[in-house]
Amino acid sequence: MNSKPCRFGLIGYPLEHTASARYFAKKFEREGLSDYSYSLFPLMNVDEVRHLISGTPGLQGLNVTIPYKQSIIPFLDRLDPVAEEIGAVNTVAIRPSGQGFELTGYNTDAEGFRRSLRPDFHHKQGLVLGTGGSSKAVTYILRKMSLVVLKASRTLKQEGVISYQEINGDILEKYTFIVNCTPVGMFPDVYAVPDLPFSLLRPYHEVYDLIYNPVETMLLRFAREAGTKVQNGQKMLELQAELAFDIWMGARP
């Protein structure tokens, strides 16, 4: 595998919402990395990933977004222990091997999320909307921080997961930190909003939406109007991207 050009990219589908390519283009320009580039690879099926890599000279790393953060795992050769514990991957390092290349999966969403939290974070219980790969990373961090976590899902029914219809005043009185880990409200469907009882939100709540496009989702708008603290996913995007780049550069073998 050639060292130049140094290519990186993002796989997922669709990719119209993402700001990753712009972020890395600015980063490479700022740091004088003229031989580095970042591309979007909208894959209809995750099983195309190894063919993509073998057909893209110089590709050294990938980010992974919806809907492939969990389904990519069987196509990898190795998993970082944190990614294995979370059960989701958003970063892949591509390294030469005797078989051509070896793929190692990492999760930088988790640490990026942790570092993005407010310095005065004080919540004891968290309500996580969604059960996908991002939800797994967020839940992992919140539990590491000793929070009690409850998940809400439109479809999945299992222990520790409730339906949106079950989110009531008693639930919201206990679970004061609410994190949207679903794509509901993401560009281009910007008027969509998770089915939350916004009238029950209070100033002691905090609503964190992992979505960063648009900057203010309808979820964050309604939460802000209810008087709660709000935060979007822009800071997390940047932090997880920097962690991914460190992995690609070999800072973490």
Which one is catalytic: 26, 27, 69, 136? 69
Classify domain 110-233 at the CATH class level. Answer: alpha beta
CA dihedral (113, 119, 122, 123) in degrees, to 10, reads -20
pLDDT interval class at 4 (50, 70, 90)? low
**Catalytic annotation present for 27:** no
| Digit-coded pLDDT (tens) for 200-212 | 999 999 999 999 9
Determine the Cα–Cα distance for residues 204 and 218; give it in Å rounded to an integer. 20
Per-residue confidence (pLDDT) for residue 98, from 0 to 100: 82
Helix (H) or strand (E) holding 91: strand 91-97
| Digit-coded pLDDT (tens) for 190-234 | 999 999 999 999 999 999 999 999 999 999 999 999 999 999 999
Q: Is residue 227 left, alpha or beta, with left meaning phi > 0 and alpha meaning psi from -120 to 50? A: left
| Digit-coded pLDDT (tens) for 125-176 | 999 999 999 999 999 999 999 999 999 998 877 888 999 999 999 999 999 9
Residue ranges matching CATH 3.40.50.720 in the chain: 110-233
Per-residue confidence (pLDDT) for residue 251, from 0 to 100: 42
Residue ranges matching CATH 3.40.50.10860 in the chain: 6-107
Average pLDDT, the chain: 95
State which CATH number among 3.40.50.10860, 3.40.50.300, 1.10.10.350, 2.70.98.10 fits the domain covering 6-107. 3.40.50.10860
